[in-house]
Amino acid sequence: MPTGLVLFREGEPGTNMYVLMEGLAEVSFGGEVLEIARPGALLGEMALVNSSIRSATVITRADCRLISIDIAQFDMLVRESPEFARHVMTVMAERLRHMNERLKEAIGELSVRGRRPRAV
């Protein structure tokens, strides 16, 4: 896939995920870059896990080679390969930890500036 191709956009329905085999892809949320995905990265798996809309936008940043996995293939891999299921859960847990760290940093910056976060 060529550079600059949008694989999917935040808010779209998710019907497949990708495994990035070669190249680089930018993962962003609300216009902010969260990650530059490298070979081996899973992209779009969250939408398949809970049948939800895309939580991020992914754009290729170098020529990429990707493997596309649709929901039927995903379900079969989860059923027949506990290692695959564990890998998907590990990736999602690492992303959650990373986002928690970013949230802590943001809250810390607000408190240093003398502002308290608003209750949600």
Tens digit of each residue's pLDDT, the chain (120 residues): 889 999 999 999 999 999 999 999 999 999 899 899 999 999 999 888 888 899 999 999 999 999 999 999 999 999 999 999 999 999 999 988 988 888 888 888 777 766 655 665
d(CA 106, CA 101): 9
In the chain, domain spans: 6-112
Architecture of domain 6-112: Sandwich (2.60)
In this predicted structure, what is the pLDDT of residue 119? 60
In this predicted structure, what is the pLDDT of residue 98? 85
Type of residue at 5: L
- Three-state SS string across 45-114, please? HHHHHCCCECCCEEEECCCCEEEEEEHHHHHHHHHHCHHHHHHHHHHHHHHHHHHHHHHHHHHHHHHHCC
d(CA 45, CA 48): 5
* CA distances in angstroms from 116 to 11, 99, 103, listed in the order given: 30, 20, 14
Question: pTM value?
Answer: 0.80
Sign of CA dihedral 51, 54, 55, 56: positive
